[in-house]
A and B are shown apart, each in its own frame.
Chain A
Amino acid sequence: MFDTAMTWNDLMFMLRGAGVTLWITAIAVGGGTALGLVFGVMRSALSPWVTWPLAFVLDVLRSVPLLIQLVLANSFQAIAGFGWSPFVTSCVGLALYTAALCTEVVRGAILSVPETTRRAARSLGMTWAQDQTQIVFPMALRVGLPSWINLTLGVMKDSALVLWLGIIELLRASQILVTRLQEPMFILLVAGAIYFLISFPVARFGERLEKRWREHD
């Protein structure tokens, strides 16, 4: 059906790019979620007077376009002499951006746990930490998971912006092939299909977990 000049080697080139996309996404989502959990718990447990500096920084990270953040982060690390590679800079930038979004997901999910349920847990002699791990987190997880899955899929697509730092991930690999082969439609279709194939299992995994939990509701 398609008459294309694209070779297996070109496809492998795109798949290597997809591998980079996956790596960056995994590191950013992993790091960002860990930070988001800590920040989310802090923001839900501590007084706004204590956490306002954190809230301000997270607001900035959520509000400024990611592309600007990545470019500024790259310039800043160069000026500060950190000597980070574009890959490290991209991972740090994306992880902080993810953390800012994840903090709100975590905070909202924690606040959705009724205060009375937490009181019941504490009234049984549970410590704050036991209340958090045994009651709040499991209940909040059910509320926050759909948003977190959306966040993960969003970050994976946003990770394409790291091409501006010179990293050859899936979209940049596709661009290079488009320039060389002059077949934008076909190559972008393939790139889109690869993005879909990466995203689909994540979305399905989330759906399956939600379905399992719903059986108890």
Chain B
Amino acid sequence: MIEIEKVYKSFGKLEVLKGVDLTVARGEVVSIIGGSGSGKSTLLTCINGLEPIQSGHIRIDGTDVHARSTDLNKLRRKVGIVFQQFNAFPHLSVLDNVTLAPRKVLGMSRAEAEEIAVRQLSHVGLADKLKVYPSRLSGGQQQRMAIARALAMSPQYMLFDEVTSALDPLLVGEVLDTLKMLAEEGMTMICVTHEMTFARDVSQRVAFFHQGILAEIGPPEQIFGAPQHLETQKFLSNVR
């Protein structure tokens, strides 16, 4: 379970998260929507400790992410994150991109890591690209590789940060299909997204962020059908 409790986060004087509370249960898919600068992506980077927080708590299965005693590197094995930019390691082949962390972080042998990598890459439809370097892949393929790379660590939670935003519209579908597949398999996911159809069809709950505050959260039917908060109504009328 991911428990976010009264989280405040600022960059200098700019307050980005202003007391966010959110709990995500095992197996749940929560989509976060909202305008640019509303703090959605920052929340994800705070969840796996890439960014420190000023106050509040984020707990993953009871472990306080930002406690001094927490081994973040160990915790991050549980929580995969995929970013808007694909962040491929350009000097490594697709297979090596995926096997690197299992080998170096989990201490697997090359053979073990490759077995997992091939399985994950096949899962995201890249079985024929193992020896290819990232520069030879399309944006959609690079993003699917990034998803396979995160999945190869066998995380219990996955965070997706606008993973389709940097893609050509033609390539968005293939990445969303991969996310849908993961959701159907029961992966716990928090997806920051601008894809309203995806948020409505795949998530159990949708959260609307506005100016660093979780303004509204509820089942997709409520958020998209009968939004309560004025800002949610405004946002949805603009994106539709």
Contact = CB atoms under 8 A, between A and B. Distances in A.
Interface stretch (B53-61, B120-128, B146-154): B146-154
Contacts of A211: none
Nearest to B51: A119
The residue among A122, A125, A138 with the most chain B CB atoms within 10 A of its own CB is A125
A121 interface: yes
A120 B146 contact: yes
B91 A125 contact: no
A139 interface: yes
B81 interface: yes
B104 A126 contact: yes
B100 interface: yes
A117 interface: yes
A122 B76 contact: yes
Interface stretch (A36-44, A63-71, A127-135): A127-135
Interface in B141-161: 146, 149-150, 153
Interface in B81-109: 81, 83, 85, 87-91, 100-101, 104-106
A123 interface: yes
Interface residues of A, number: 21
A124 B74 CA distance: 9
Contacts of B146: 120
B76 A124 contact: yes
A179 interface: no
A142 interface: yes
Contact of B133 (A123, A126, A216): A216
Contacts of B106: 125
B73 interface: yes
Given A119-B50, A216-B133, A124 B149 contact: yes
20 contacts: A116-B85, A116-B87, A119-B45, A119-B87, A120-B87, A122-B50, A123-B48, A123-B50, A123-B76, A124-B80, A124-B101, A124-B149, A124-B153, A125-B106, A126-B104, A130-B104, A138-B91, A139-B90, A139-B91, A216-B133
Interface of B: 45, 48, 50, 73-74, 76-77, 80-81, 83, 85, 87-91, 100-101, 104-106, 133, 135, 146, 149-150, 153
